Amino acid sequence: MKAGIVGLPNVGKSTLFNCLSNAKAQSANFPFCTIEPNLGVVNVPDTRIGKLESLVNPERVMPATVEIVDIAGLVKGASKGEGLGNQFLGNIRECNAIIHVLRCFENDNIVHVDGSVNPIRDKETIDIELQLKDLETVDKRLEKVKRASKTGDKDAQKEEALLVRFKTALESGISARAVEVNEDEEEFMQSFQLLTAKPILYVCNVDESAAKEGNAYVEKVKEAVKDENAEVIVLAVAIEADIAELEDYEERRMFLEDIGLDEPGASKLIRAAYKLLDLQTYFTAGEKEVRAWTIPVGSTAPQAAGVIHTDFEKGFIRAEVIGYEDYVNYGSEAKVKEAGKMRVEGKEYIVKDGDVMHFRFNV
């Protein structure tokens, strides 16, 4: 599961990627600095794993991670192959969610491809290109489905009706994620692989003075996306880059206090991306290792076990489960057991975020 950072050239995508990841993307004041997509594996900030570490004192700690991709900047005409259009669109298709960076700051020293700062125009430029590509996808699919639909195929008729709704929305400049889809249609929608159906997080890249409260540009973005089922985060990307360069924790904390923040905005962004991908965390805790495991929301106990090893899922017998709060309140696995707070769960159990788990299996 990975989230792709997109935006027009020169809005701060690669600088943001560098804040989030140890995989340092080249960053410079010219378009298309990032040509090949850069992939970074980023630790998900989670205070719970630090608490478990202090209680268990393991040999090592492994946090949850999320994959972030820095994708080349897009220009008008990308849907027809302009700039690096086809490559850009293909890279987005491979991602499960989109982090859209919008420039919300003035700076005469940093060129803008359209000559002026206007995040709503920038958003629309990318929206239109993605919508045009989706319209192409929908039209091709409709051609095939209509033939099957005419023969009386009930599934084809349902699919055709959904495609027509998407086509109407896209032709009106509305992204696919804004179209309501019922449970029966969900599988069809997934098979279409529409770019504008992907969940999206807007990052308003501001200057230092707007890091805490935002600015007029940010308010315009919030208003523009209010019907999109999307989240908006305000981030002073250049300042975040400076913070990321500091080695000393106290220095970072003082820097944050100076600009009125309680934690790096990058941490909030990573957690938001994790949530955007519909992911959650469960833990395993022992003397050798305390580890956060990443699973999709709604995973069963055997599916969660399979993330550790496929044999755990195949031979699943049961899961011994401790709620995170119970683990912290009682202070150890042994004390949790004494208090009768450890649960034994079977194959149907839906794992909750923060569960501390131990699996019994037989292969």
Residue 257 pLDDT level (bands cut at 50, 70, 90): confident
Residue 9 pLDDT level (bands cut at 50, 70, 90): confident
Contact 67, 1 (CB under 8 A): yes
Question: Average model confidence (pLDDT) for the chain?
Answer: 86
Is the model's pLDDT at 27 over the cut of 50? no
Cβ burial 153-179 (10 Å sphere, 16+ → b, else e): eeebbebbebbebbbebbeeebbbbeb
What are the structural domains, with CATH classification, of the chain? Answer: 2-46+63-116+198-276 (3.40.50.300), 128-196 (1.10.150.300), 298-361 (3.10.20.30)
Contact 27, 302 (CB under 8 A): no
State the average pLDDT over residues 224-237. 88
Give Cβ neighbours of residue 111 (< 8 Å, ≥ 6 apart).
10, 29, 30
* Backbone φ and ψ of 263, nearest 5°: -155, 160
pLDDT per position as a tens digit, 45-56: 899 999 999 999
Ramachandran region of residue 6, left (φ > 0), alpha (ψ -120 to 50) or beta? beta
pLDDT per position as a tens digit, 68-124: 888 866 656 555 654 444 566 778 888 999 999 999 998 877 767 667 889 999 999
pLDDT per position as a tens digit, 197-223: 999 999 999 998 898 889 999 999 999
With a pLDDT cut of 70, the percent of the chain lying above it is 90
List, in sequence order, every beta strand (DSSP E) within the chain. Answer: 2-6, 38-43, 60-62, 65-70, 97-103, 200-205, 231-235, 279-285, 289-296, 316-322, 343-345, 356-361
Output the pLDDT for position 20.
80
Q: Which two tokens stand for residue 323?
A: 């709620």
Query: What's CA 225's distance to the chain center, in Å?
Result: 17
With a pLDDT cut of 90, the percent of the chain lying above it is 48
